[in-house]
Amino acid sequence: MNFSWLKSYMPRSLFGRALLIMVVPIVALQLVVATAFIQRHFAQVTAQMTRPLASEINYLVQEIEQAPDLAAARAALVQLAGPFELALTIEENDRIPPKDQVRFYDLSGRSVITTLRERVNAPIQVDLASDAGNVDMRVMTEKGVLRVLVERDRVSASNPHQLLVLMILTSILLTIIAVLFLRNQVRPIRRLAEAAEAFGKGRSLEFRPRGAEEVRRAGNAFLSMRSRLERQIEQRTLMLSGVSHDLRTPLTRLKLSLSLLPDEPEAAEMLRDVDDMERMLAEFLAFARGDSLEATEPVDAISLAEGLVEDARRHGATVSLALRCDTPEDRQVAMRRSAMERAVQNLLNNAHRFGTRVGLSVTLLEKTLEYTVEDNGPGIPADRREEAMRPFARLDEARSVERGGNVGLGLSIAADAARSHGGVLELGDSADLGGLRATIRIPR
């Protein structure tokens, strides 16, 4: 049988699944024990208590049938009612109700009826529903219907539920204790997951391994891995800073020497090449560095976009700005400001390079932040968008080294910045401008 449909009803968290594994056996055990108790113990005890009553009813029926007339039978019942502790009457009737009366949840009552029908040597009808404290019986005899009224406690245990109640209360208490213990065991795993998720977003949370031995080992392994990665990133950043200094110095001297040459076309071309080299070097360094060591801080997401648009307009770009904020009282988003500015700036530069109209829209929702850049350029084919986000990728239709010194790192830097914030960069078609639509989406 295929039980895959059960997956949608199963808890997804470790705590929920562990709790389910613990509670289901307890409930199943309770049901099994309760069923066995009711069927084997409670039902048997009730049957044993009912058998003497059935013998007394047989004796009463015998006395009634041996009496010469109805008056003598009633007189005999008066004498027997006291010793038997029964309420006895004879009704001049030739029939008894056809069905027994019992509540659906009265399991002991069913055992009483079954025992009486098996033991009484006459047609009998039992009513256990009209009066919960008494057993009302009607027995067919030759002189009429014998009505027998007896207290319920005489034929069934008065407190059979005590064991079940004790079992349920004990199970609830043990379950609460187990839940508290389970929460303490799951808490270190949650903290480990939070620390790992934060590190993936560029934040370093304080974390100390706790809990079971396996959890401690996983936590220590994570701390060792995080330390190695941070050390490698720091060493790479220091190396790149040295490379940047060593390369920029000769480029600066070369640029200064070219500026001292006479104003000739060849000198101007060489100066533009030096500028392109500086720009490409900056892109290489920005991509390799990735701003991974920059601290995360609350940033006004809308002010960041407004500043980028103003900068773009000062450089002659035509950029429109659209804002949507569902939380106007809180526009702060935890991010690395320089990394996000560089990512959005790269998208704006790409859009301006390959289009004449550029639009930037900011969507600030309760749980997400989106920066969307659109243009009216040639766009990128759907089957090549993933390739366009790879480092050093240049598409023939829209990107070339000759157009502004592009080296194919703009989208890669934006994608890395989005991933370092726990988000994603998505490329699509612009519905308004007809060109490319690039969206950076990060969680708040």
- pLDDT at residue number 348: 92
Structure-model confidence comparison of residues 286 and 252, the more confident one: 252
Q: Quick check: 422 pLDDT over 50?
A: yes
User: Contact, 305 vs 373, CB < 8 A?
Assistant: no
d(CA 417, CA 342): 9
Quick one: tokens of 165? 């109640």
Neighbours of 37 (CB within 10 A): 15
Phi and psi angles of residue 376, each rounded to the nearest 5 degrees, phi first: -105, 25
- Would the pTM count as exceeding 0.95? no
Q: In the chain, pLDDT over 90 holds for what percent of residues?
A: 31
Average pLDDT over residues 168-188: 85
Paired with 358 in beta bridges are 319, 375
d(CA 219, CA 209): 5
Q: Which amino acid is at 184?
A: N
How confident is the prediction for the chain on average, in pLDDT? 83
Longest dimension (CA), the chain: 152
- pLDDT at residue number 221: 93
d(CA 161, CA 159): 5
Q: Quick check: 33 pLDDT over 80?
A: no
Q: Which long-range contacts (CB under 8 A, 24 or more apart) does 384-387 make?
A: 385/427, 385/428
The mean-pLDDT minimum among 103-112, 300-309, 365-374, 398-407 falls in 398-407
Q: Which one, of 297, 200, 292, lies nearest residue 240 by Cα?
A: 292
- pLDDT at residue number 375: 92
Which residues does 166 contact at the CB level (< 8 Å), separation at least 6? none
Q: Identify the band that residue 395 occupies on the pLDDT scale cut at 50, 70 and 90.
A: low
State pLDDT tens for residues 110-154.
Answer: 889 999 999 999 999 999 999 888 999 999 999 999 999 999 989
Quick one: tokens of 147? 């009505």
Phi and psi angles of residue 398, each rounded to the nearest 5 degrees, phi first: -130, -10
- pLDDT at residue number 197: 81
- pLDDT at residue number 202: 67
Q: Identify the band that residue 3 occupies on the pLDDT scale cut at 50, 70 and 90.
A: low
Tell me how far the alpha carbon of residue 99 is from its chain's centroid: 53
Q: Quick check: 49 pLDDT over 70?
A: yes
Domains and CATH numbers, the chain: 4-158 (no CATH), 296-443 (3.30.565.10)
d(CA 176, CA 187): 16
Q: Identify the band that residue 390 occupies on the pLDDT scale cut at 50, 70 and 90.
A: confident
Q: Identify the band that residue 53 occupies on the pLDDT scale cut at 50, 70 and 90.
A: very high
Q: Quick check: 444 pLDDT over 70?
A: yes
State pLDDT tens for residues 328-385.
Answer: 888 999 888 888 998 999 899 888 888 889 999 999 998 899 999 999 988 888 888 8
Quick one: tokens of 77? 């019942």
Count each helix (H run) and each strand (E run) in the chain, helices first.
11, 11
- pLDDT at residue number 314: 86
d(CA 419, CA 411): 12
Q: Which long-range contacts (CB under 8 A, 24 or more apart) does 169-175 make?
A: 171/26, 171/30, 174/26, 175/22, 175/23, 175/26
The mean-pLDDT minimum among 29-43, 329-343, 402-416 falls in 402-416
| Range picked from 166-170, 294-298, 376-380 for highest mean pLDDT | 376-380
| Range picked from 19-33, 78-92, 151-165, 290-304 for highest mean pLDDT | 78-92
d(CA 99, CA 94): 16
- Judged by phi (left if over 0) then psi (alpha if -120 to 50, else beta), residue 412 lies in alpha
- pLDDT at residue number 270: 82
Paired with 147 in beta bridges are 89, 138
Q: Quick check: 401 pLDDT over 70?
A: no
Paired with 126 in beta bridges are 137
- pLDDT at residue number 28: 85
- pLDDT at residue number 399: 43
Quick one: tokens of 2? 């295929």
State pLDDT tens for residues 81-111.
Answer: 999 999 999 988 888 998 999 988 787 888 8
Which residues does 261 contact at the CB level (< 8 Å), separation at least 6? 267
- pLDDT at residue number 140: 94
Give, in order, the Cα–Cα distances in Å from 145 to each of 20, 76, 436: 57, 15, 96
Pairing mode, if any, of strands 332-335 and 297-300?
antiparallel
- pLDDT at residue number 249: 79
Q: Quick check: 250 pLDDT over 70?
A: yes
Q: Quick check: 187 pLDDT over 60?
A: yes
State pLDDT tens for residues 60-70.
Answer: 999 999 999 99
